[in-house]
Amino acid sequence: MTLSPKEERRRARRRGIYVRGPYVRVAPPASCKDPSELFWEKVDKNGPKVPGVLGCCWTWTGGRDKDGYGKFQVSVPGEDKQRHIRAHRFAWEEVNGPVPADFYLLHRCDNPACVRPGHLRPGTQKQNREDCVRRGREPRGSKKPNAIFTEELIRSVRDRVASGAVLADIARELKVNYLSLHNAVTKNWRHV
């Protein structure tokens, strides 16, 4: 007899096993708490407020991985050992069900420790990369392979302009193109 997924979940829940999405979490015997409750207990809903993103972040207060993402331990059906999944993924799936295959969950707030479902959206790897570029995680300044300026140089040029020097003169002196220097000082090197 094959059970419908819904019926399987209902029976699992009756045995004290929590099922949602592709994951199962076994509640520790010492606790009668709902595993979902265990998860949300580790969430601080008064996290930082990120401009342009609705509401403040919900910060995961449990363990994190090397990239700053929250970790949550789950049991997966058919696997003996428990394993860690990313906390924001668990949170999103609590509300929305499983993340579609080949999709990533992207943070609108760019805060890896945030698990607020409303701050997450599924996206492709390509969108993930585009997000990184937009937020400036790509190499900048002299870390760019073809950089012709250095951070020190840009800083000193800015200082000289601030004390009255003319940018065109500095460009001539450094034997660099005026426009590239202008762009570097005013636009491209804002991180310096």
Interface residue list for Zn ion (CB under 5 A): 57, 109, 111, 114, 116, 119
Beta strands in 117-168 (DSSP E): 120-123
- Mapping DSSP to helix (H, G, I), strand (E, B) and coil, where does residue 51 land? coil
Q: Residue 192's closest CA among 127, 122, 143, 121?
A: 143
Minimum Å gap between C-beta 85 and Zn ion is: 18
Task: State which residue, 86 or 119, has the beta carbon closest to Zn ion.
Answer: 119
Could you tell me the two tokens for 108?
Answer: 């609108």
d(CA 2, CA 108): 40
Minimum Å gap between C-beta 79 and Zn ion is: 30
Task: State which residue, 115 or 154, has the beta carbon closest to Zn ion.
Answer: 115
Task: State which residue, 71 or 108, has the beta carbon closest to Zn ion.
Answer: 108
Task: State which residue, 62 or 141, has the beta carbon closest to Zn ion.
Answer: 62
d(CA 86, CA 69): 6
Q: Residue 36's closest CA among 84, 91, 101?
A: 91
Could you tell me the two tokens for 56?
Answer: 């403040």
Minimum Å gap between C-beta 70 and Zn ion is: 12
List phi, psi (to 5°) of 121.
-145, 145
Task: State which residue, 53 or 181, has the beta carbon closest to Zn ion.
Answer: 53
Minimum Å gap between C-beta 131 and Zn ion is: 14
Minimum Å gap between C-beta 84 and Zn ion is: 20
